[in-house]
Amino acid sequence: MNNYRANSDFTVSEMLKSIGENDLDGLFSVIDKRAVMEKLDLPDAMSEMQVQKVIKSMAKENKTDYSYFIGAGAYKRFIPAAVAQISSRFEFNTAYTPYQPEISQGTLQVIYEFQSMMCDLTGMDVCNASVYDGATACAEAMLMASRISGKKKILISELLNPQYKEVIHTYAHSAEIKIEEIRAKDYKTDTDSVKSELLSGEYAGIIIENPNFYGTIEDIDKLSELAKSKNTLLIVCIEPISASVLKKPVEYSADIVVGDVQSLGNPVSFGGPYAGFITTLDKYKRQLPGRIVGRTVDEDGKQAFVLTLQAREQHIRREKATSNICSNQGLAVLNAVVYMALLGKKGILQAAYLSSKNAHNLAKGLNSKNYKVLNSDYFNEFVLEVSDSDKFIQTMKEKNILAGLKLSENKILVCTTEINSKEEIENYIKSA
């Protein structure tokens, strides 16, 4: 173990002597004795080889052969093995943040390509280097809308991801922004109910998710037209894969488009890490939080990448900063770039098509067994009515099927992606 000790006995002795202590216990003499453990109840030490055997035997107790039908913002998709191999190459490694372009060209190029790809996917003009996750992206977009308009009220769809709504409310509290929700009808945002609320013109923006949390494809065209008539910014939260087959946000005049790139080459991984993105129109680019990477040429005429816009408090006056906490998620963004480059437009389109096709095939089969799907116009997630959610989920789990996410006592949210085979879908229907 001496190879892993930071300090030798001699070094420890010298340090103690310099501060006037005789032993290490003296360092902790100020701590309440009730907080000090006399000894740790640990097993005897083992060799590295023995530890590996123990850990492997413990790992075998994990069940990993479930058919997976859970979504709700975290999607299990097929990730080519090449993604991890390419992402681990040394060219893309950098310490913390690429402030020094001369030693961070790999990382800067990845972020630049990410920005370009997300603009292509959404149809928007500019994208930032990423933020923490989709929830943060929504909240930061809300702050953008408030800064741009000077207004302190935001409308959000009742059907936005519940976790995203919590983060939005947390941000809004400190920023003194008032949040109001748009009502829902049959798992779709009731756009007709917005008219009276927007008449005052007091709202900085509207935040809506498409497809929404329950998988329904929203009718955003009417909402967009109404928002424009009242000088209200339209903020749309999307799932990137779905954007390859649904109408691009730019086509229904979105002002800011946000989302999470977890489904682009990043595994579910017990909830993270994820990465959010924010794309917007060129006229709003200086209100983007975080940073933007640009491409230029060096003094030798060679291509070079640099941090072009850095509107954070480290770089400019705090009161002028567009965000004081967000940072780009380097590895998650790298995985997303490699994933999109490997699949290409056709591959991403195929993944989206299969995800939706599987969902509709599963719903059709469940309907034939007298189960009721409660929403229509869904993409790859739908709300299923069952007699007892807990019992249904547990019974399916015993058959190696993770059937969905519990929404209430008799409703669950079911999701499919391209990883769900025909056999898995048939087994779900048979087992239900």
Whole-structure pTM value: 0.86
**Mean pLDDT calculated for residue range 126-135:** 93
Q: DSSP letters along 109-165, please?
A: HHHHHHHHHHHHHH--SEE-S-BS-HHHHHHHHHHHHHHHH---EEEEETTS-HHHH
What is the average per-residue pLDDT within 30-42? Answer: 85
Q: Evaluate if residue 313 carries a pLDDT over 60.
A: no
pLDDT of residue 97: 66
- pLDDT tier at 91, thresholds 50, 70, 90: confident
Burial class (CB in 10 A: 0-12, 13-18, 19+), 99: middle
**Can you give the pLDDT at residue 327?**
64
Mean pLDDT of 234-244: 96
pLDDT at 415 over 80: yes
Residue 253 binned pLDDT confidence (cut-offs 50, 70, 90): very high
pLDDT greater than 80 at residue 301: yes
Q: Retrieve residue 116's tokens.
A: 């370009």
Interval 82-105 mean pLDDT: 81
Q: Output 288 or 414, whichever has higher pLDDT.
A: 414
Query: Residue type for 352, please?
Result: A
Q: How confident is the model at residue 322, as a pLDDT?
A: 66
Residue-averaged pLDDT of the chain:
91
Q: Which residue has the higher pLDDT, 225 or 318?
A: 225
CATH class entry, domain 67-77+344-431: alpha beta
Give me the residue spans of the domains in the chain: 67-77+344-431, 81-339
- pLDDT bin (cut points 50, 70, 90) of residue 49 is very high
- pLDDT value for 325: 60
What is the reported pLDDT for 168?
98
For residue 95, pLDDT over 60 is answered with no
Who wins on pLDDT, 314 or 70?
Answer: 70
The pLDDT value recorded for residue 63 is: 85
Strands (E), 158-198: 178-182, 184-185, 188-189
Residue 326 has pLDDT above 70, yes or no: no
Among the residue ranges 11-15, 324-328, 416-420, the one predicted with the least confidence is: 324-328
Chain segment 342-356, per-residue pLDDT in tens = 999 999 999 999 999
CA 313 to chain centre: 24
Q: Count CB neighbours of 97 within 10 A.
A: 17
pLDDT higher than threshold 80 for residue 315: no
Nearest partner of 333 among 118, 140, 125, judged by Cα? 118
The pLDDT of 310-336, averaged and rounded, is 71
Check residue 312 and give its pLDDT: 60
Residues 295-305 have a mean pLDDT of 92
385 pLDDT more than 90: yes
Q: Quickly state the pLDDT bin for 27 (edges 50, 70, 90).
A: confident
Mean pLDDT of 330-342: 94
For range 2-6, the mean pLDDT: 72
Residue 405: predicted pLDDT: 98
Least confident range from 130-144, 181-195, 253-267, 333-347: namely 181-195
Q: How far apart are CA 412 and CA 403, in angstroms?
A: 8
Contacts of 11 (CB under 8 A, 6+ apart): none
- What's the pLDDT score for residue 53? 96
Q: 167-171, 253-257, 289-293, 416-420 — which is least confidently predicted?
A: 289-293
Average pLDDT over residues 288-304: 90
CATH number of the domain located at residue range(s) 81-339 in this protein: 3.40.640.10
